[in-house]
Chains A and B, each alone.
Chain A
Amino acid sequence: MESYNETLLDPLKQGVAIVARPIQSIAEAPYFLTDASIDFFSSRNNLQKENSILENRIRELSYGSQRLAAVESENTRLRELLGSRKRLSGDVLVAEIVGIDPNIQRREVVIDKGTVDGVRVRQAVIEAEGLFGQVIATTRSSARVLMVSDPRHAIPVEVVRSGFRSIAVGMGLSDRLYLENVSTTADLIIGDVLVSSGLGERFPRGYPVGEVRSVDIDPARNYADVYTSIQARLDTSRHVLILFDGMAP
């Protein structure tokens, strides 16, 4: 995504971004105001229900994180025994989505964190449910994120059950990815969970990407058509996490 010309014109871009940012915020204001009004006018009953759901969710997550801590420490011990470095790092930065690209051929969003916050091009971005995308451009106070659903986006994945590896590419749809070059004899079944494989060293290993939704095998062809769901809530999420895999934020 980066080119020599873009590097030359970077100072100009940074300057124009100062003018562009308020316009972008005004354009996004109706959606922020709608969300804020819904929050403000939520009835007490609804808030109590939501509170109860969130409390249950915290209990579940707290239980999960306790188990994860035990697994992580065991994993670290095993990795130390094998002489391998620790793969999953914990540094993240929370960012808010402040703009969505209106061009429907591109699946990109603008977030409110930029180079001053330590955000760099190629950083992986996740959402509460799964992998969201990667940073493709930055200004001082904002960054552009390419979502996993964009047709230009590809991510190395592996199946949790069988360890089968493939590459999931975006289709321009917010609910579907396509697995490339899957052999008709590949060990894949509907419902298989896909996580990032860590190959290519762009995305850390082990983050959920989606689930296999359909496996179409045509005997006349060498490859199967495999479609998967997308775990991250690309269309509804307002906050994302930028991963600093070994980098200080």
Chain B
Amino acid sequence: MNTPVRGIVVLLILLIGLLLTVGHLPRVLPDWIGWLRPEWMVLICFFWAIELPERIGLVSVWACGSVMDVMVGDAIGTNGACLALVSFVGWKLQSRVSLYSPFQQIALMFVISLGVLWIKAVIDNLFNGVAFTTHILVNAACTSLWWILISRVLGRVKTRFDIR
């Protein structure tokens, strides 16, 4: 598989992450289901940060975050900073994560996503006046539970397209 195709696959996955982030659930569904949505971009950026630390840089992650900011109406830089932080943690822990048991990986992802959601909640409160809520715990728990599935699927894609 040549390099441009691998790059396109990585970009496509980031694009799918953005689509899942901005897409809303059908309006007929009750509101609480929204809390079960994971932070798709956190999962995807963390995966690529531990699997391809030399390919996924701060600039690309920040650019994705900026697109997210405009799409979801966050203060510009919020998601860029959060995704950069996630990627940084991924780079630091890349050699260890593969040795962690699934339970430890879920616990780690819970801490990371809770940190991201807390930062976003603080910024949202400061700039948009959105009230704090404990629902971010549910959101973080859901994000961490999705991690095993997402890492398996992306791992398959990485092997299938020989992304290195």
Q: Which residues of A contact B (CB under 8 A)?
A: 1, 3, 5-6, 9, 12-13, 16-17, 19-20, 23-24, 26-28, 30-31, 99-106, 108, 137, 139, 144, 151-152, 172-173, 235-236
Contact = CB atoms under 8 A, between A and B. Distances in A.
Interface in B20-49: 21-27, 31-32, 34-35, 37
Given A30-B23, A104-B35, 7 more contacts: A3-B75, A5-B75, A13-B69, A99-B71, A101-B72, A103-B34, A106-B128
Contacts of B66: 12, 16
Which DSSP category, helix, strand, loop or mixed, fits chain B's interface? helix
A26 B21 contact: no
Q: Top 7 nearest A-B pairs by Cβ distance?
A: A104-B34, A27-B23, A102-B24, A20-B70, A100-B24, A27-B22, A16-B70
Contact of B73 (A16, A106, A236): A106
Interface of B: 15, 18-19, 21-27, 31-32, 34-35, 37, 66-67, 69-73, 75-77, 124, 127-131, 133, 135
Contacts of A104: 31-32, 34-35
A153 to B, nearest CB: 10
Contact of A102 (B21, B76, B128): B21
A23 B147 CA distance: 24
A27 B75 CA distance: 21
Contact of B70 (A13, A30, A235): A13
A23 B71 contact: yes
Contacts of A101: 24, 72-73
Contacts of B77: 9
B139 to A, nearest CB: 10
Given A13-B70, A102-B25, A152 B15 contact: no
A100 B27 CA distance: 10
Contact of B67 (A5, A20, A106): A20
Contacts of A31: 26
A23 B24 contact: no
A110 to B, nearest CB: 8
Q: Is the interface of A mostly helix, strand, loop or mixed?
A: mixed
Nearest to B76: A9
22 contacts: A6-B75, A9-B77, A12-B76, A13-B70, A16-B69, A19-B67, A20-B67, A20-B71, A23-B15, A24-B22, A27-B24, A30-B23, A31-B26, A104-B31, A104-B35, A105-B124, A106-B130, A108-B73, A137-B73, A144-B73, A151-B131, A172-B31
Contacts of A28: 23
B70 A103 contact: no
Most central of A26, A27, A104, A144 by chain B CB within 10 Å: A104
